[in-house]
Amino acid sequence: MFTEADDKMIREHFDDLLECCAPICRTPEDKKLIVDTFNFANDAHRGVRRKSGIPYILHPIAVAKIVVSEIGLGVKSVAAALLHDVVEDTDYTVEDIETRFGKKIATMVDGLTKIKKASELAGSGSSAQAENFKKMLLTLSDDVRVIIIKLADRLHNMRTLGAMSVDKQMKISSETIYLFAPLAHRLGLYNIKTELENLSLKYSFPEDYKKISDKLAETEASRSEFIDKFNAPIIERLNENGIEFTIKGRVKSIYSIWKKMQRKMVTIDEIYDLFAIRIVFKPIPFVPEKTQCWNIYSIITDLYKPKPDRIRDWVNIPKANGYEALHCTVMGPGGVWAEVQIRSERMDEIAEKGFAAHWKYKERGKGENREGELDKWIKEVQNALNSPTEDAVEFLDEFKLNLYTSEVVVFTPKGETITMPKGSVVLDFAYEIHTNLGNKAIGAKINHKIESLYTPIKNGDQVEIITSETAHPVLASLDHVITAKAKQKIKSFLKKERENNLANGMKLFEDALKERGVTPSARVFHKVLPAYNSTNKDEFYVKLGAGIISLDNLDKVLKENAATKLIKYWSLQVSNTIKFFGGSKSDNQKTIDEQIKVAQCCMPIPGDEIIGFRDDDGGVIVHKKSCDEAIMLASRHGEKIVPIKWSSEKIISFLSVIEVRGIDRMGILRDISNVITGEMNINIRKLQIESHDGIFEGEITLYVKDKKDLEHVMNKVASIKGIESAKRVSDEYKHNVAANGTKQA
Ligand code: MN
């Protein structure tokens, strides 16, 4: 039961919320609605507590506060946020809500309930999580506010994630980084996106997170000294010009720093653009904001030299999520590059609050264009969702692809402008215009020059599609197009073909096995699928049925060992809440052999941070924690996560790949193999070297005991005369290979 102290705490939190709502409560009815919905929710959740022990109602109050203070939505959204868990967690129904608070709020609560229900029904082994996300996106078409409230809900759950178990933390963080943060980005909610990313990092990579935040704290003094020195002349000149403004130096987010370190494989000390300067000005009336932005730009570049290729003009052509600003990079004191962002107050509000601010400015009769872009995007999502060919998992992958991309603007032959995601090829453009145009396309004239279907289109290109009546979509195109629309259209065409091929392939394979007296088992597929470059049975059958692969070397494949190497002597730490393989031992730590496999996409070795997933055969597949594939798996199949740790024993060896680069000279190959096999007594499995124009590049596949061992090898190799670098082949590279390799024979 609740104590007096609990009630006092609830009261205080609600009073605080009411205060935040004061600016949006225009009539007494507005305030009454908030008070009434609070009383209703407070009653409904009475006596219930969160995992952390605090009264449950503090969660809806906190979500409502985010909705009003950090996103800037209105009274109805606050009411819906307060009620968001009532229908799912208590005995009240949507009808009860409608009777008391009207249809609009009931519909929003209904949307929020459906999302939650789907998420909790998520059983094992299915794509239930994906279905859940799909449902969530469906609400976009009804009322975007539902998604925004859901984001606020997720944000508060992330802020309080410390109270959850480790595997729950991993599942929720992965979902957040996989879908919620990109979604916040797409809706222009930058602050929320950044916080979601940072929190997700904090729980997925606590050590990295701490290292970066410590470093930022440590360098703060010298950084702010630089910023002051940098800003001083700007402030003086802007004042002289009678411009009203604020200027701030903003540090990049921990997540974006981490991401950059991962991508470029550098340390934090090697990242030079840790911060940006932001100038927000109050526009003077009757002068276009655009003119004022460029005016400030010219004042700054009188003081500091700009980097010509680093001007980003999102004032003329805003990003699809509505973002407007003028960015440039200039050379500051002491030869340090600094990024400067110039925004009007209106642009700043849109950047901070995203979608909600859009509405506000649209109502004032401005920003027609930006609204159009967002509407268009929502319509596209709707179309894709309504397409019957679309499977939830597939949809989500492609949807996600489109969340982060920035755009290029191209012209039709008639001179109309079409906005496409950056990286789009000619075929994407054809499908963007019309399905039939895409299906029949064979090439294009780009700026009157003939180009292929897979040529990337660039900003300002004029594109005219060339068609042929006999043309039809082919599988290979899926590796080139990047828009969800093109992929979906090609797939739905191929689907019919595919069904025939699948049946054919299955029969071919069954016959081939029968001939050899082999029964199709999980073991057989473990060998066959990787050997034929297939990720699952269906893909394998379809390729076989379509004649893309043939079974010529089946005998050899069946004799070989499975592609995922079995390794022994791991110790698994299995949390108490997870039942594991029906094992009979009751101790927390078990040594399990044979059932553990190393994921081929990232090839973790002892010393790497790892995460395990149960597979369909009851085994565990181990990925590096930073592997894209693992993040995707965790976001969809959180129920399969197995907390896992390396044992301290170094008994067997792991396969690893390093990449070397250097200047070619006589005998260098011999030196490499001498160092590795001779001096270090390490077994090389494969050595692949290519030499051109005096440069040589190659990959060495070898067996090592652990990460330290591998680093030792790399240092040794790097010290050989002529060798410029020796690096471990990164996840990203590996993942790309896997992603592109699946569709081709
Ligand atoms: Mn909630």
Q: Give the model confidence (pLDDT) of 233-248 as tens digits.
A: 999 999 999 999 999 8
Q: How far is the CA of 357 from the centre of ligand 1 (A)?
A: 24
136: region left, alpha or beta (phi > 0 left; psi from -120 to 50 alpha): alpha
What pLDDT is attached to residue 733? 39
- Choose among 453, 441, 446, 460: nearest CA to 482: 453
- Ligand 1 centroid from CA 40, angstroms: 16
Catalytic residues: 88-89
Q: How far apart are CA 484 and CA 400, in angstroms?
A: 9
Residue 538, pLDDT > 80, answer yes
pLDDT tens track for 625-653: 888 888 888 887 888 887 777 665 555 56
Q: Distance between CA 701 and CA 724 in Å, rounded?
A: 18
How many Å lie between the centroid of ligand 1 and the Cα of residue 169? 16
> How high is the pLDDT of residue 693?
67
The SS3 of residue 399 is helix
Question: What integer pLDDT is reported at residue 673 of this predicted model?
Answer: 82
Distance 84 CA to ligand 1 centre (A): 6
CA of 60 to the centre of ligand 1 (A): 6
Let me know the angle formed at the C-alpha of 727 by 725 and 729, rounded to the nearest 5 degrees: 145
CA distance 411 to 361: 29
Nearest to 375 by CA among 120, 144, 656, 542: 144
The pLDDT of residue 588 is 40
DSSP letter at 564? S
pLDDT greater at residue 273 or residue 575: 273
Contact between residue 81 and residue 33 where contact means Cβ atoms under 8 Å apart: no
The bridge status of strand 570-573 relative to strand 589-592 is antiparallel
- Between residues 70 and 389, the one the model is more confident about: 70
Query: For position 123, what pLDDT does the model report?
Result: 42
Which tokens in the block code for residue 655? 């396969």
Over residues 412-424, the mean pLDDT reads 80
Q: DSSP assignment of 237-290, as one string?
A: HHHHTT-EEEEEEEEPPHHHHHHHHHHHT--GGG----EEEEEEEEPPTTS-HH
Report yes or no: 20 and 65 within 8 Å, Cβ to Cβ. yes
Predicted pLDDT at 2: 83
Neighbours of 57 (CB within 10 A): 26
pLDDT at 742 over 80: no
**Pair type for strands 620-624 and 596-598:** parallel
What's the gap in Å between 85 CA and the centre of ligand 1? Answer: 6
- Antiparallel, parallel or unpaired: β 337-344 and 417-421: unpaired
Q: What Rg do the C-alpha atoms of the chain give, in angstroms?
A: 29
Poorest-pLDDT segment among 330-344, 579-593, 609-623, 628-642: 579-593
The label of the residue with tokens 């090592």 reads 704
For residue 1, pLDDT beyond 50:
yes
**Which helix (H) or strand (E) segment is 720 a member of?**
none
> Is pLDDT above 90 for 688?
no
Q: What's the gap in Å between 18 CA and the centre of ligand 1?
A: 19
Q: Which of 200-204, 284-288, 450-454, 711-715 has the highest mean pLDDT?
A: 200-204
Cα angle for residues 464, 443, 404 (degrees, 5° grid): 75
* pTM across the whole model: 0.59
Q: Does 411 have pLDDT greater than 60?
A: yes
**Helix boundaries (H) for 304-425:** 345-353, 355-363, 368-386, 392-404
Say how many C-beta atoms besides its own lie within 10 A of residue 587's C-beta: 7
pLDDT score of 282: 95
Among the ranges 305-309, 364-368, 599-603, 711-715, which has the highest mean pLDDT value? 711-715
Residue 403 confidence (pLDDT): 59
Q: Report how far residue 604's alpha carbon sits from residue 597's, in angstroms, rounded to the nearest whole number.
A: 10
CA dist 644 and 595 (Å) reads 13
User: Ligand 1 mean position to 588 CA, how many Å?
Assistant: 32
12 pLDDT exceeds 90? yes
The whole-number pLDDT of residue 232 equals 94
Q: Which residue has the higher pLDDT, 205 or 578?
A: 205
Helix (H, G, I), strand (E, B) or coil at 482: coil
Whole-number Å distance between alpha carbons of 376 and 700? 49
In this model, does residue 473 exceed pLDDT 50? yes
Report pLDDT for 319: 74
Which pLDDT score, from 0 to 100, does residue 731 have?
Answer: 39
What is the reported pLDDT for 531?
Answer: 80
Top mean pLDDT of 26-35, 402-411, 615-624 is at 26-35
Distance 73 CA to ligand 1 centre (A): 17
CA of 59 to the centre of ligand 1 (A): 7
pLDDT exceeds cutoff 80 at 654: no
The answer to whether residue 9 scores a pLDDT higher than 90 is yes
The predicted model gives 136-153 an average pLDDT of: 78
Ligand 1 centre from 52 Cα, in Å? 14
345-365 pLDDT, tens digit per residue, is 989 888 877 655 655 555 444
Q: Which long-range contacts (CB under 8 A, 24 or more apart) does 608-615 make?
A: 608/707, 609/205, 610/644, 610/645, 610/646, 611/170, 611/641, 611/642, 611/643, 611/644, 612/572, 612/641, 612/642, 612/643, 612/644, 613/637, 613/640, 613/641, 613/642, 614/640, 614/642, 615/640
